[in-house]
Amino acid sequence: MDKVVHFQLPVDNISHAKEFYSNVFGMKVLLISSNREHFPEPVFPLGAVYIANSLIHHGADVRIFDAGLYSFPLYSLKKELIRYQPDIIGLSLRNIDNASYPSTRYYVSGYVKIMNTIRSMSKAPIVLGGSAFTIFPEELMEYLGADMGIKGEGESAVSQFREKGGKGIYEEMVSDPGDISFPRNIDTIFPFFHYYRTIGIQTARGCPHRCIYCTYPLLERSRRRLRLPYEIADEIEHLNKHFNKSDFFIVDSSFNSDEEHMAGVLEAIISRNLAIRFSCYLQPRIEDPSIFGLLKRAGCVAVDFGTDSGSPSIVHSLRKGFTVDDIRRVSQSCRKAGIDFCHSLIFGGPGETPETIRETITLMNEVSPKAVIAMIGIRIYPGTEIEQIAQEEGQLCSKESLLKPRFYFGPLGPGRLSREIFENISGRNWFFPGERDWSSSIGPRILRHFYTKGPLWRTFKTENIS
């Protein structure tokens, strides 16, 4: 195992970062998206696509191989390695696990198989990256035995590989959001791109909040970096007009973190007059409720609110920074605008009791979303405050690895927590991702085949708007 070194790129010096790029000139780079999860939907490999664009701009020849699209991915990967003969291989690792309890799926063993296949066929150095890698860099480096890893954002990073001799873990952040863009010739570098019905679009990076369990500030840092609205609208228009794509997912962890920017993006989209639709994540807090009207006009059909709890004390203990009245207000405004919405919840925060569970359920009954998506227990990630809390409460040892999923359940523990929830909920619009192994159930796949208009929860039958 090579020594793991930490190197911080001088991120604010973009010209310096650009020097690194030139190192990939003329090289063949194969980017492999390792994600094979199809639930709740197959996710377009946006990270790999953005990185591909940066590499192309600096003279590399790039190809994307998406392991999620093949029935026999290792066999297909071997064929691709023989055909393309890459000089460098980038392996994109998105999910460690499905963060769901009790039916937890763990994906790392699949990544080991991909690594072994690459090593058996190619001598090209392997660079790891992606959200899973950023959360667990040292452990994955060691476990997978890669040559190099890039924590964080990868747009300007793969080129460092040669510069640094291809060893160790490096950290990267894009300081100029103009460096984030979608390749116009996507079909050349990623021929199976047409398989994806929904395409991801990112409008900004960074979240200034500090919710106690969240990895996002780790993944994208806290400093907001906003892409230009007209560039985002250009990207959508190009995909719509040249590739006939009409479904999008705005992947920002919360699109409304900066409401002014959000309004700018929506106006830019509206100005193109396109027949598109999209979904997004919002925080349940809004300054100007008329923004939901803009959302609707721009083509938004579904909003997933990162609500977590409807109990004032749990909202506070999770450090959410909004109030229960905010949840009411956004629900009303969203309904009034005619947009389907769901509330995503996490039960089991510090201080969760039968009383706080009932408060959340009562609020959900009152605001009546199209769907409630509820996690039982909080997946503990390294470097988060919930990790510290779990250690202080003796639920976790300080040196314990979190690569294999561990969950925090609050004072009730998993059994009582689940019982209190299931005994109190009513209505068919509640969905529990951890209730069973949905990934291997045929139901969601069939539904996805016939239902093409946004997230599956939109098919839930409630008395709400449809």
- Under rule CB under 6 A, residue 43 binds ligand B12: yes
43 or 364: whose CB is closer to ligand B12?
43
- Under rule CB under 6 A, residue 125 binds ligand B12: no
- Under rule CB under 6 A, residue 99 binds ligand B12: yes
- Under rule CB under 6 A, residue 316 binds ligand SF4: no
- Residue 132 CB, shortest distance to ligand B12, in Å, is 5
Judged by CB under 6 A, the stretch of 84-92, 108-116, 212-220, 296-304 that binds ligand SF4 is 212-220
Q: How many CB atoms lie within 10 A of CB 213?
A: 21
Instruction: Count residues binding ligand B12 (CB under 6 A).
Output: 46
- Under rule CB under 6 A, residue 407 binds ligand B12: no
Pairing of β 148-152 and β 168-172: parallel
- Under rule CB under 6 A, residue 209 binds ligand SF4: yes
In 221-353, where does DSSP find H-type helix? 229-243, 259-271, 291-298, 312-317, 324-337
Judged by CB under 6 A, the stretch of 207-215, 400-408, 435-443, 455-463 that binds ligand SF4 is 207-215
Longest dimension (CA), the chain: 63
Judged by CB under 6 A, the stretch of 109-117, 194-202, 225-233, 407-415 that binds ligand B12 is 194-202
From ligand B12, ligand SF4, none, interface partner of 203 (C-beta below 5 to 8 A by class): none
Asked whether the CA dihedral 302, 303, 309, 312 is positive or negative, the reply is: negative
- Residue 257 CB, shortest distance to ligand SF4, in Å, is 7
Please list every residue from 240 through 299 that binds ligand SF4, using CB under 6 A: 253-254, 283
Instruction: Count residues binding ligand SF4 (CB under 6 A).
Output: 11
- Under rule CB under 6 A, residue 67 binds ligand B12: no
- Under rule CB under 6 A, residue 122 binds ligand SF4: no
* 229 close to 267: Cβ distance less than 8 angstroms: yes
In 320-396, where does DSSP find H-type helix? 324-337, 354-367, 385-392
184, burial (CB in 10 Å: exposed 0-12, middle 13-18, buried 19+): middle
* b/e 408-434 (16+ beta carbons within 10 angstroms → b): bbbebebeebbebbeeebeeebbbbbb
- Alpha carbon distance 74, 436 (integer Å): 27
Judged by CB under 6 A, the stretch of 55-63, 204-212, 384-392, 449-457 that binds ligand SF4 is 204-212
Token readout for 38 is 């199809």
- Alpha carbon distance 345, 429 (integer Å): 13
60 or 211: whose CB is closer to ligand SF4?
211
From ligand B12, ligand SF4, none, interface partner of 130 (C-beta below 5 to 8 A by class): ligand B12
- Under rule CB under 6 A, residue 46 binds ligand B12: yes
- Alpha carbon distance 94, 136 (integer Å): 11
Token readout for 142 is 């060691």
Judged by CB under 6 A, the stretch of 41-49, 306-314, 317-325, 384-392 that binds ligand B12 is 41-49
Angle between helices 354-367 and 324-337 (to 10 degrees): 20
* 347 close to 374: Cβ distance less than 8 angstroms: yes
Token readout for 180 is 């984030």
Closest CA to 157 of 143, 145, 135, 175: 175
Judged by CB under 6 A, the stretch of 212-220, 234-242, 284-292, 349-357 that binds ligand B12 is 212-220
- Under rule CB under 6 A, residue 206 binds ligand SF4: no
Q: Which of 34, 64, 80, 94 binds ligand B12 (CB under 6 A)?
A: 94
Q: Provide the edge-to-edge strand list for the sheet that holds 6-8.
A: 6-8, 168-172, 148-152, 126-129, 88-92, 28-33, 61-66
Closest CA to 213 of 383, 374, 345: 383
- Residue 218 CB, shortest distance to ligand SF4, in Å, is 10
Beta bridge partners of 298: none
Token readout for 457 is 């929860």
From ligand B12, ligand SF4, none, interface partner of 299 (C-beta below 5 to 8 A by class): none
55 or 364: whose CB is closer to ligand B12?
55
Residue identified by tokens 């954002």 is 153
From ligand B12, ligand SF4, none, interface partner of 254 (C-beta below 5 to 8 A by class): ligand SF4
Judged by CB under 6 A, the stretch of 109-117, 211-219, 390-398, 416-424 that binds ligand SF4 is 211-219
From ligand SF4, ligand B12, none, interface partner of 300 (C-beta below 5 to 8 A by class): none
* 172 close to 156: Cβ distance less than 8 angstroms: yes
Token readout for 184 is 């116009």
225 or 335: whose CB is closer to ligand B12?
225
State the residues that interact with ligand SF4 by CB under 6 A: 207, 209-211, 214, 216-217, 253-254, 283, 306
Binding residues for ligand B12, rule: CB under 6 A, are 35, 37, 40-44, 46-48, 50-51, 90-92, 94-100, 127, 129-132, 134, 150, 153-155, 157-158, 198, 200, 202, 215-216, 219-220, 249, 251, 253, 379, 433
